[in-house]
Each structure stands twice: as structure tokens, then as C-alpha cells.
Amino acid sequence: MRKDAGLNGDLDRLPQLSWLLFLKAFDERVEQTGAALDPDYRPAIEKPYRWQDWAPKRDYSGDDLRAFINGDLIPHLSGLEGSGADDPRNILSAVFADVTNRMMSGTLLRDLVDVVDQIHFTSSDDIHTMAFVYESILKEMRDAAGDSGEFYTPRPVNRFMVQQSFLELGESILDPACGTGGFLVQAYEDLKDKVETDEQRKQLAGDLRGIEKKSQPYLLASMNLLLHGIDAPQLVHDNALKRMRQSTAAERVNVVLTNPPFGGEEEQSIVKQFPSGYQTQETAWLFVHAILDQLQKGGRCAVVLPNGSLFAGGVGARIKEKLMKECNLHTIVRLPQGVFAPYTQIPSNLLFFEKTGPTEETWFYEIPLPEGRRGYAKTKPMRVEEFEPCVEWWGGKKREGREGGPQAWMVPAEDIKKAGYNLDIANPHVGDGLEQRTPEELVDELIKVEGEILGLLTSLREGLASK
């Protein structure tokens, strides 16, 4: 793939590999298995478009193979129409709607197809190995994507968020900004050992739902879920904000796990679908508002938000007020600066809330940097172990026995209300310690304060414009 002139870097190579892997896995895991178990099984892909019909054929020259893929295979797959929401033909057409074969050399394409054909998705060893390799490639892909302004959730963060959401079999779980599927894969890994029957396994696969706006992450997420044992990923290729605003009560879910895009601006046609007084172009706040309506009564959410969202006024403050009136915002975990490095140094927070009634008090827990560390880097990222003290403090599913301490403190909801719903509340157990801070840290703090002032002025201007 590195030799082909049509592929420029990992952002081209991984999608190319993914759709080939997807077709091979779909053929073995869905089509061939279905035919073996049911004599009346109707293939989702008809001859001659099944992987088994064309990929192993050595009489296809490189140029013939490339012409078949470009002119026949991809147009056929993207044009499939299913008879229902769960019809695999709908999944195939959504996956291949924006797929293109970028390889220019038919000879190299033939070689790549031959390599993929040697992988056996009916072998547990091959699947395990391929899932591990794919996750490694995805990490490289995420590093490359970060350079273009797309940030993905580090695995220790989504593992912690899933763990502290205390998932149960039978619950519907949604990531409305699913990217490459990290939260959904982690949720599946967290629940699969509880499965005892084939019916429970099918239900679990159907309960894991994702929405992704961009075609490339959608393809990668589909392949990621398929490799981890979910044969028919319940993913939707659409604008999640539009989708959630137009959803019905029957589509509400028990759990939302997500890291919505922030810092972007949503198009006006989407913004206008939100109620007056809650309209803003800041994507993160629109996601929070939509999530509140998407949760069932008693449902719960874990969401990543940047510091700027915590202290935002204007529309942001009104959405925080709505959140705290409708839900119990029981915990905010403050992450160290640089968790999302090298993509961004913006400090982030994890908000956990339940749609069980108004907030009475909110606990804050600050995750410190490891001793001796001044930040994170691509080669030295955050580790799962750094969350262990917070997990011990959490108090289990019922959050029992919580106590304040050097990293934890509680704030009554009434105090937050009086402060204009400012959730950017510093750790009261930590002094300024200016004399112990380096010049670099002081400059970083000044930059942060200037950024906060700019954010407040922007919110003020937005609030005045909405009046």
C-alpha cells in the first residue's frame, strides 16, 4: 500500500484496508455462516459481488480487478436497498456510500486482496489478532487525524467512563458522536462476559448504537465493531444533532456515552431545530441539550466537555440550568491538562449525570498528573492506572461513602446556581502555590485566563444577540 501512488499516508491507507477487511469479514461471518445455518438464507450480496466470487479468482488480472471494483462492485454495494432497518443491505449501502478505491496500481491492489483473503474470520485466533492489529492501526489513524483537527478519546478515558456507568445487559447504549467506535467497543467488552445465551448476544449487539456524521470514521467504526464480534453494527451515518432532534420517544435510550465535537460551529439549519433560548453554534452545547431529550427517564450519561463549557455563560449557562433541573449531575471528574495531547492542550472534564430529578449536590474529583510529570505526550499518554484512586473513591454503583479530601470536594447545587451555573470550580484543597510554579506554568495559566475571558465575552455577546 505504501508503494501505491494513489495512497497518501495513513488517512488514505486505513480506509482502503478497512473496506476490504469489511467485505471479507462480512462474507465469512454473515453470508457463509447464515447459509450454513439456514438452507433458505437469502444472501445480502448476490453473485458475482460476494467476496468469495471475485477476490480469490487468480484469473482476474490487476487491471481487470481494479476495473471490476471501481465500475461494478462499489456502485452495486452502495446502491443496495433493504426491506427494514435491520436488513444488512442497508448497512452495506451506508458503509459503501462514500467508499472509493484509491489504489491506482492494479497489480498492487491484486496483491493486497490476496493478503486480505488469507485472513480467516471464522478463526478465533485470526479474529483476535486482527482486532489487536486494527486497534493499533486505528491509534495511528487517530494521531494522524488529530493533525487535521479531529480528536479521539484516549482508551483509558473511555474505559473509565464505561466502567463508572455500571452498564447492564438489556440497556440501550448510544454514542451520538461515535467516531471509530471506541465507546461502543468498550461497552461490548464490558458486557460480553455477562452474556449466557445467543438471544442475549443478539440483543447486546442491537443495544449498542452509534451515530457518525463523517463517512471515514463511520467506515472505521463499522469495521471495528465487526472485528470485535458484532456482525450487524447498529450505526447510522447522519448528523447526530438532526437525528436526535427528530427522534421519537420510542428511540430514547438508557445510556449515552460520548465525546462530542467541541469548538466547532454547527450549520444554521440544525441550530434552528433547537428551542428559542437554547440556539447556539457551539456544537458541544447542542449535543448536551439533545442528549437530555434523548435519555429515557432514569437514564444516565457520561460525556466529555472542555473547561470552556464549564464556565460558559449565555446559552451555555441556560443549558447547564436545564441539565441540573432535569438531571442529577452527581459527579464531575477534572482531567489533567494534556490528556488529549498532542491534538490539543485544552483541559477537559467528564460529566456524569442521571435523569432522575434535580441536582442537589455535585461532587468534583481532580485527577492529578503522575508525580514527576509535567504533562502527557504521544509517546507517554495517560494510563488506565491513573484512574484507580477515583474508582476506589467513587463508592460503587450507588456512590456510597464518598468523602472529601485532597482530590475530592462537594458543592451544593444552590451554590452553583448562585454562581450563574459556573461549573469551573477549582479544588479548594490546593492553594495557589505561585512560588512553587515554573515560569512556563505561570504563562500557561495566563493564557488559560485570557481564553476564559474571551469565552465569557463571546457568551455575553451571544446572550445580548439572543435578547
Could you tell me the end-to-end alpha-carbon distance of the chain, in angstroms, rounded to an integer?
Answer: 56
Q: Which of 66, 87, 120 is the last residue of a domain?
A: 120
Residues in the chain, pLDDT under 50:
147-149, 432-436
Q: Which residue range(s) make up the domain with 178?
A: 139-466
**DSSP track, 279-321:** --SBHHHHHHHHHHHHEEEEEEEEEEEEHHHHH--THHHHHHH
Please give the pLDDT value at position 180.
85
Instruction: Establish if 134 belongs to a structural domain.
Output: no
Please state the domain count of the chain. 2
Phi/psi of residue 237, each to 5°? -95, 95
Query: Is residue 295 domain-shared with residue 420, that is, in the same domain?
Result: yes
Which three cell numbers, joined as nine digits, stand for 382? 495517560
Residue 359 belongs to domain with CATH number: 3.40.50.150
Residue 100 belongs to domain with CATH number: 1.20.1260.30
Query: Is residue 147 domain-shared with residue 277, that is, in the same domain?
Result: yes
Query: Is residue 220 domain-shared with residue 362, that is, in the same domain?
Result: yes
Query: Is residue 179 domain-shared with residue 108, that is, in the same domain?
Result: no
Query: Is residue 277 domain-shared with residue 419, that is, in the same domain?
Result: yes
Please give the pLDDT value at position 197.
93
Instruction: Establish if 5 belongs to a structural domain.
Output: no
Q: Which residues of 210-235 are buried (b: 16+ CB within 10 A; e: fewer)?
A: bbbbebbbbbbbbbbbbbbbbbbbbb
Please give the pLDDT value at position 291.
96
Please give the pLDDT value at position 142.
63
Instruction: Establish if 186 belongs to a structural domain.
Output: yes
Q: Which of 176, 182, 311, 218 is nearest to 18 (CA)?
A: 218
Please give the pLDDT value at position 463.
66
Please give the pLDDT value at position 149.
44
Q: Which of 60, 85, 120 is the last residue of a domain?
A: 120
Cis-peptide, bond into residue 176, ω within 30° of zero? no
Please give the pLDDT value at position 466.
63
Query: Is residue 98 domain-shared with residue 144, that is, in the same domain?
Result: no
Query: Is residue 266 domain-shared with residue 391, that is, in the same domain?
Result: yes
Query: Is residue 204 domain-shared with residue 89, that is, in the same domain?
Result: no
Instruction: Establish if 127 belongs to a structural domain.
Output: no
> How many other CB atoms sit within 10 Å of the CB of residue 349?
19
Q: Report the C-alpha gap between 97 and 74 in whole angstroms.
A: 8
Max intra-chain CA distance, the chain: 77
Instruction: Establish if 133 belongs to a structural domain.
Output: no
Please give the pLDDT value at position 105.
94
Q: Are 98 and 215 in contact (CB under 8 A)?
A: yes
Query: Is residue 240 domain-shared with residue 199, that is, in the same domain?
Result: yes
Please give the pLDDT value at position 431.
60
Query: Is residue 289 domain-shared with residue 395, that is, in the same domain?
Result: yes
Instruction: Establish if 126 belongs to a structural domain.
Output: no
Please give the pLDDT value at position 303.
97
Q: Which of 88, 120, 152 is the last residue of a domain?
A: 120
Instruction: Establish if 457 belongs to a structural domain.
Output: yes
Instruction: Establish if 405 belongs to a structural domain.
Output: yes
Query: Is residue 54 domain-shared with residue 171, that is, in the same domain?
Result: no
Which three cell numbers, joined as nine digits, stand for 420? 450563574
Q: Report the C-alpha gap between 424 and 124 in whole angstroms.
A: 47
Query: Is residue 226 domain-shared with residue 327, that is, in the same domain?
Result: yes
Helical (H) or strand (E) element with 233: none
